[in-house]
Structure 1
Amino acid sequence: MGDYQTQSLWRMRLGSALRTALACTIVDCTVLYGPPQLKKYITYPSFSYMTTILIAPDATLGDVMRSCWHVIFATAQVLLSSVLTLWLVEPKNFTVEVAVVAIALSAFVVALPESTHLMSKRIAFGQFVSVYVGTVIHGAQTGVVMHPLGVASSTVLGAFASVVAMLFPYPRLSYYEVSESWRMYAGNASQKLARFVEAISSRDKSGALELLSQGQSLSKEAAKLLQSISNNLETMVWERPHIKFLKPNYLDSGERLQEIEVPLRGMEIALSSCSSHPVNLIDEELRRNLQSSEVQVRLRLLQAKYSLPSDATLAPESYREIFDKPLWAGKPTTNNRENLPAFFFLYCMELLLENQPIARNPGNTRKPNQEPSDSQNQQRWTFKSVWRNIIPSTRSIIFALKCSLALGLAVLFGLLYNKENGYWSGLTIAISFVTGRQATFTVTNARVQGTALGSIYGIIWLFIFQRLEKFKLVPLIPWIFFCHFLRHSRMYGQAGGISAAIGALLILGRENYGPPSEFAFTRMIEASIGLLCFLFVEIVFYPMRAATLAKNKLSQSMEALRDCIGVNLCVPASTGLREKRRKLKSHMKELETFIQEAETEPNCWFLPFQGAGYNRVLGSLSKIADLLLFVAYKTEFLAQVEQNFGGVWEELRQQMNADLELLKVCLEEASSIKPMPVSETMSESDYHDSELGKPPRGFATLGCTDDKEVETIVSSFLQHLQEVADKVHTSDIEEKQKSQMILCLTSLGFCISSVMREAMEMKKELKKLVKLNAPT
């Protein structure tokens, strides 16, 4: 990462930490030093802190406005339902059992609708715990209206403090964050392009590899910046009126930015495939052309740094000096494998120069301000879609049951252990739920460590300031800063950072709760009770380990890859290939998550997880998916220009199709995984997996195609491509179009041969994984 990006990141995190500390300070001062008329309504300051910690960190004004809306929605839900419940049951009749049933039922009802945001559900869970456990503790003295109103007021205080903090010293807008991230991305792309052009032109292999390594590091940073842009685009609508002529033109900015990122990714693949330096194809004239093209693209990126992100790829005409002469005008040589990566590199440079929409379907593009058609609006409100929104899905029912059971058990055991502090077992896990699966052991461990760390910090400073209670808020400020950076660490993450911050806030930011050390010890026990209940329920509902899920998801990814391969790679099926590739990318993203989780979970009595092998397979899958996008775009281009070549293209396309069919068969065999039952010769102990309750089925690779057979088919395909390229080279069409056609054909040869090479490497890795999972 460059110095500018590093400084921007640190400024952003420091500013976010400052605003979080300010929000917590507002709550502290209100709770400890506010007027008595106000303090009597803030009966649960602990929930004010929790609300602030949930909303303020890393938030923009749009994030806070959206979160405040979710807080208001959750508070209205809880206030109405809890007042009605207390009126019907009466506080004097609220026993531990009644409270547990009320919390479990309320959590189920709140968690069931899929349309309710997760933030609203978490806030509602915590409010229900505070209301019903407080009723058990105070009994008949509990006010039917005033008690829930005190919880609601405490929640609103945390949300209000977050809003005020976001406005100081000036609003942190999502619009500004998107613009800043885009400027950083434009600078990143410019640096990356310079590294790649310098690497392809290098005469020294070690120097080229160093430049490639620098470019790959920049690619990782670019992925983070693109994710930041995507996240902030969702909250921009909360910062401005929803008026038609004020709507931001950022609806398709993600795809527009991919128009820059995808060719750069192609250049990276081409460079990683170069076997020697200097590259034979790159002569002095071509070096000058590449450098001139680089300057042109970098100028456009530089100008785009000061433009709106939605217009970043549409620079003014004065900056779009596309060469009249082609980038490449020599004789094509697809038979020389060493030149194919260089041809593909030139093709990607041509895409950048022409600003081609490779990341989008050509038939599905829509202008930023264009409204959906009437037929599209009608499709949104079909009976099926309405019925789907009314009837909860299986996933939402499982999530509701999980939340209900976990909160019910946590409150039950928390109250049985210590009635006066029974809140903490439920409140600890109320903010921990996610709609899907999470790394349960890792998250639980981080929360336990964070709670202990924050509690110890608070006790130490209370002991130091025991005679200066008015200054006990001073050590909270550096701690909030520390916890903010702790959220971004690998060891603790968001879960540990939140727990550490709340642990210190509840000791230093409250008063009149007894001896601090006794309270801290009790709260840690209560938090452990809640986390154990949370861990138990997660294991019950998601019994499979991440290693098993990674194995299953790998199998599904291979199925998706075979679906991509099953599409006819020739025109006009490229749209189907794009859609199936998107499905493959979705599976790969889940697979990456499971691999990361499996590498951190305990192995216990299971075989160690082979993370390195899975990551190598995932790397090959990623490269194949990227190359398939280029294949789809090239087939679209060939469909548009084939009429210019008459029968030349038609007579050779049949031969190429035959080669592609053979390659598809080989590729399907190389990527095939099928369930493999335990054979009679295998002992059950070899495959025993207690989480499934029976010997599971592993996976085995299919296919007997060897490397020589694949090499023969690829050579035949490249030979037919050479014949087409030679015909194009001797034709009488315009030089620029001829150059584009030749680059397209040679790049198609590179993509197909690279896909086959990666598939064969993937096949070898899969065989290793099978052998490691089933040694016999």
Structure 2
Amino acid sequence: MAAITRADSTTKALWRRRLGSALRTALACSIVGFTTLYSPEHLRHMPAFPAFSYMTTILILSDATLGDTLRGCWHALYATIQIMIPSILCLWSVGPDRFTADVAAVVVTLMSFVVALPESTPLMAKRIAFGQIVIVCVGTVVHGAKTGIVMHPIHVASSTALGALASVVAMLLPYPRLAYHEVKKSSKLYAENASEMLNHFVKAFCAQDNAAALDSISEAKSLFKAGTKQLLSIKDKQEGMLWERPQIRFLKPNYKDPREKLQELEIPIRGMELALTSCPSFPVGMIDEDLRDVLQSLKAEIGLKLEQAKCYASFDATTAPETEKNCKDESLWSLKAISSTEDVPASFFFYCIKLLQDGLPVAPNAEFVVNETRETHTEGSSDSQNQNKFKCKLKWISSSLFLLPSLESLVFALKCSLSLGLAVILGLMYNKENGYWSGLTIAISFATNRQATFKVANARAQGTAMGSVYGVICSFLLQKSVNFRFLPLLPWIIFSSFLRHSRMYEEAGAISAVIGALLILGRKNYGTPSEFAIARITEASLGLICFIIVEILFQPARAATLAKAQLAQSLQALQDGIKDIVLFADQKGKPTPTALRDKQKRLKSHINELDKFIAEAEMEPNFWFLPFHGSCYEKILASLSRMADLLLFVAYKTEFLSQLSERFGVSWKQIQEPINDDLELFKEKVGYSLKCFEEVILIKSLAVLAPERQNRNISHDVESGRLPNEDVPRTLSPDEEEIEEILSSFLQHSKEVANSINGYDGEEKHLSQTVLVLNGLGFCISSLMKETTKIEKEIKELIKWENPTRNINLYEISCKLNATYPK
């Protein structure tokens, strides 16, 4: 009931926020409309391009806070300064009377390239600058010799300034929407969400039957999505908050944003969920009355920590407030159930709840609960961070001095310039008077990252058509009351503001829809509305065609193809991470335990890229290609994400064990060798499986293998990978029996390590810690093997989807591949 009430409250708050944003947008457009339609003549003629004032307002104010609006105004000013002087020089040197359509296209191409090339220029500033370039050049062609060399660019700048000023006024009335308060509110909601998930997970762990445990786990899982949305909301508003409170940016160099702080809560909670979903049955075998009491004490202490985290007043502090420890560590570490358990999911659950209590270990010399050297490690970490920041600054300065653009920025600049130049010349050839709209339609739609080209173009075309049709209908209904035709715009602006949150239209379609109506109902002297609407829809279509053609020329690979290639890269990154799992590095050339964190970050970045390509591939049209198997990719993505989380926990555990080995000396390391043997066996099996998956994924077609083998005269012999009559294994990854065997051996050797610690006086706490960490490590490696098995199943289905007439055996395919293309 509480969850339902909170969901209803969240939904109402979301609708209120979106309605408030829509009303502010309507107010800003009203300010522009009344200024350009009904203000005194000397004011009315300065912003000579009201359409661009509307565009600027929509770009700046859509779902913005005060900080976002101030940033948008700065971007508008930056774009104007960047464009005005070159525009005046260009008009002066060429002459308005000699400014033909061809000259305009060339000038648009060159100026757009110069604007788009610098990586330091914000994307919104580039979009506004593109629009200004189009208006200056096309306007000169339309008006010819009458164009003022200085006044024409000034009119464009005035139109931009009107849109920016209207955005600020609308944001301040009746009171500003502050990003600072939005971030604080989202942080509070996330902390409450985390507290509720913790309660559900502890309740599930202490449950007396499977049904009660599964109900609690299910309720906790339903809260994960809300937590992810809150983190995204904080990320979106973070830059706006820095514009509202600039002292954070300039006076606090070690400032840590709230999203990073809250993500430190998310990692242990995800680990608790992994542990509970892996428990074979409930109640958990290790649970007893003493352990239940300690668990409730831990939950209460963590709840107090979360309560303080959501209630502290300022985000300016570099660290969150510390809580007093009401629950003594000794009450947990002295329990026999902790120091003797072989229930690996339960051990991992307790490890995660201790992480949640004590905070994540600090790299590079991380500690789990040994707090004596915390200050030293923090200082080392801070020095390392400062060195990294200094290196980044040096790299940025050198690239700025030598003006060396990256390949990505060069490609982006070429795409923008060619698209705009082609759109302008085609638009002027079709209809000189309305030649603006082919270029303006795409000027505000460019993105530095890859986007779903066909979906964006389709959304813009539909939005343009909807807005234009709405404007024509309203003009027809109000043809006898021309002075009131602006009123129907207000509900349409509100509707379009909600439309930007829909899956079908998103931001691109919503902006096109509202601008389509604004250009008909919010202007005067444009001719017959229906004729103007048809001309503009045609011009917009020409621009979108140019946009699609150039995008395809520069990025011919489909998102489905890129998703497949990115999957192979993710598997390679996962292999690299698993290779770096070591308990201690006493040999030259061995990776250090902390190196695993860097590999895990690299894997996470690959997984994020894969997620983007999957989302884009599901939206792109199939044409004559095989449909994208989205459900299969989503399952593989989920397994890879869990494995990335598990690798991070493995990094924490191996760092702790490496420090512990240093504490107890060489003799203890010798006892630890059997554990290393188990880890090597695990790494060999999982690494081999992942390598084979990667190779199989990169095969374009299985039909290629047989002809290649015949051409190379390769027979089935020992060197090909298997004997002619050899039974082919059904799987590449470890089966359940192998997983159980490796886990049992690991736990047995872990017990020997624990017994060696038991011989030291006063080491009861470290004994319990070591047992908990080693058992948790056993859980991680067994879970990694299980996820590898799941990935194999999905990859087999994916290959079967691409080759429906063939029997798929990944081991056999891998052997044929190795024989056909020997290393």
TM-score, length-scaled by structure 2? 0.87
Q: 1:245 to 1:585 in 2, by over 3 A?
A: closer
Residue 543 (structure 1) aligned to one of 546, 549, 556: 556
Q: AA paired with 1:425?
A: S
The 5-angstrom pairing of residues 63-78 of structure 1 reads 63-78=68-83
Corresponding residue to 1:139 among 126, 138, 144: 144
1:256/1:357 contact within 8 Å kept? no
Give the CA deviation at 1:275: 2.1
- The answer to whether residue 771 in structure 2 is matched with residue 748 in structure 1 is no
Name the residue aligned to 1:717: 746
Distance 1:375 1:305 in 2: 31
What are the Cα deviations for residues 277-315 of structure 1, in whole angstroms up to 9, with x where unaligned? 222222333233222322221122122212134669743
Q: Which residue of 2 aligns with 1:624?
A: 643
Paired with 2:388 and 2:760, the residues of 1 have a C-alpha distance of 46
Conservation of the 8 A alpha-carbon contact between 2:258 and 2:315 = yes
Return the match for 1:590 from 600, 604, 609: 609
CA displacement, residues 242-289 of structure 1 (integer Å, 9 cap, x when unaligned): 488854864354332222111101011112212222222223332332
- Residue 232 of structure 1 aligns with an amino acid whose one-letter code is K
Q: What is the aligned counterpart of 1:258 among 246, 260, 263?
A: 263
Q: 1:183 to 1:750 in 2, by over 3 A?
A: same
Aligned equivalent of 1:129: 134
Spell out, residue by residue over 1:630-685, the C-alpha distance to the aligned partner (whole angstroms, 9 max, x if none). Answer: 1111112222333554566323321111111111111111212124365776699x
Contact 1:44–1:154 (Cα < 8 Å) also in 2: yes
Deviation at 1:426, TM superposition (A): 0.5
Tell me: CA distance 1:619–1:18, structure 2 relative to 1, closer, same or farther (3 Å): same
Structure 1 stretches of 4+ with a deviation exceeding 6 A read: 358-361, 366-372
Maintained 8 Å contact 2:269/2:352? yes
Instruction: Give the match for residue 237 of structure 1.
Output: 242
Q: What SS class does the counterpart of residue 311 from structure 2 fall into?
A: coil
CA drift of 1:568 comes to: 3.6
CA distance 1:40–1:742, shift in 2 (3 Å): same
Q: Please point out which of 671, 683, 699 is paired with 1:676.
A: 699
Whether the 8 Å contact between 1:669 and 1:702 is mirrored in structure 2 is no
**Aligned residue for 2:723?**
none
1:328-727 matches, within 5 Å, as 329-331=335-337, 336=342, 339-357=343-361, 362=366, 365=378, 377=390, 380-381=393-394, 385-386=398-399, 390-571=403-584, 573-646=592-665, 649-672=668-691, 673-674=694-695, 675-676=698-699, 704=732, 706-707=734-735, 708-727=737-756
Choose 192-201 or 290-299, whichever is displaced more.
290-299
- In percent, how many aligned pairs have the same letter? 53
Shift of 1:317: 4.3
Compared CA separation, residues 317 and 120, structure 1 to 2 (3 A): closer
Q: Give the drift of 1:227.
A: 2.2
Superposed CA deviations along residues 463-520 of structure 1, whole A, max 9, x for unmatched, are 2222223322222222222111111111111111111111111111111111111111
Change in 2 beyond 3 A, CA 1:309/1:268: farther
- Tell me the distance in 2 between the aligned counterparts of 1:253 and 1:371: 21
Task: Please say if residues 340 and 771 of structure 2, whose CA atoms lie closer than 8 Å, have aligned partners that are also in contact.
Answer: no
- AA aligned to 2:347 is F
Q: CA RMSD in A?
A: 2.8
Aligned length: 758
Within 1, Cα distance between the matches of 2:623 and 2:79?
A: 41
Q: Is 1:119 aligned to residue 138 of structure 2?
A: no
Task: Name 2:321's counterpart in structure 1.
Answer: 315
Change (3 A) 1:239 1:361: farther
* Cα gap change, 1:409 to 1:771, in 2 (>3 Å): same
Letter in 1 for 2:470: Y
The CA deviation string for residues 112-138 of structure 1, in whole angstroms up to 9 with x for no partner, is: 111111111111111111111111111
SS of the residue aligned with 2:605? helix
Change (3 A) 1:270 1:360: farther
1:296 correspondence with 2:296:
no
Write the letter of the residue equivalent to 2:699.
M
The whole-number CA distance in structure 2 between the counterparts of 1:4 and 1:303 is 22
Paired with 1:703 and 1:559, the residues of 2 have a C-alpha distance of 19
529-538 vs 360-369, which deviates more?
Answer: 360-369
Q: Find the counterpart in structure 2 of residue 687 from structure 1.
A: none
1:761 and 2:790 aligned:
yes
Q: Find the residue that maps to 1:143 and give its secondary structure.
A: coil
Query: 1:82-112 CA distances to partner (integer Å, 9 max, x unpaired)?
Result: 1111111111111111111111111111111
Which ranges of structure 1 fall in alignment gaps of 5 or more residues?
685-700
SS at 1:676's partner residue?
coil
Provide the C-alpha distance between the structure 1 equivalents of 2:491 and 2:669, rounded to a whole number of angstroms: 72
Taking the aligned partners of 2:583 and 2:381, their CA distance within structure 1 comes to 31
Q: How far apart, CA to CA, are the structure 2 residues paired with 1:361 and 1:230? A: 29
Instruction: Give distance in 2, aligned partners of 1:364 and 1:133.
Output: 61
Match of 1:47 among 52, 60, 63: 52
One-letter amino acid matched to 2:797: K
The one-letter code matched in structure 1 to 2:353 is M
Determine the C-alpha separation between the residues in 1 that align with 2:77 and 2:49: 17
1:676 counterpart letter in structure 2? I
